[in-house]
Amino acid sequence: MALPVAVGSTIEAGVPNALFDVHLLPTGTGAPYSYYQYDVTRDGQRFLVNTPLENATVPITVVLNWTASLKK
């Protein structure tokens, strides 16, 4: 979001406008790094946004009888 700001004897904020459309994942799940879905480059010229791919599938590995592999 961006908004114009007029500075004089008072500070007056204008109407906010969306800079671009970003689809972020919901946060607050407690998952590691769930709050860090974007960052700004050091020079302040670009945003880096980690977004999920549309229609992407994530493989799941299921390990059966995993306790048999534990050292006793």
Residue 48's nearest CA partner among 57, 56, 39 is: 39
Tokens encoding 26: 């919901």
Residue 62 has pLDDT above 80, yes or no: yes
pLDDT digits (tens, 9 = 90+) for 27-54: 665 555 556 778 889 998 998 887 767 7
Hunting for tokens 């004897």 — which residue is that?
A: 9
pTM for the structure as a whole? 0.41
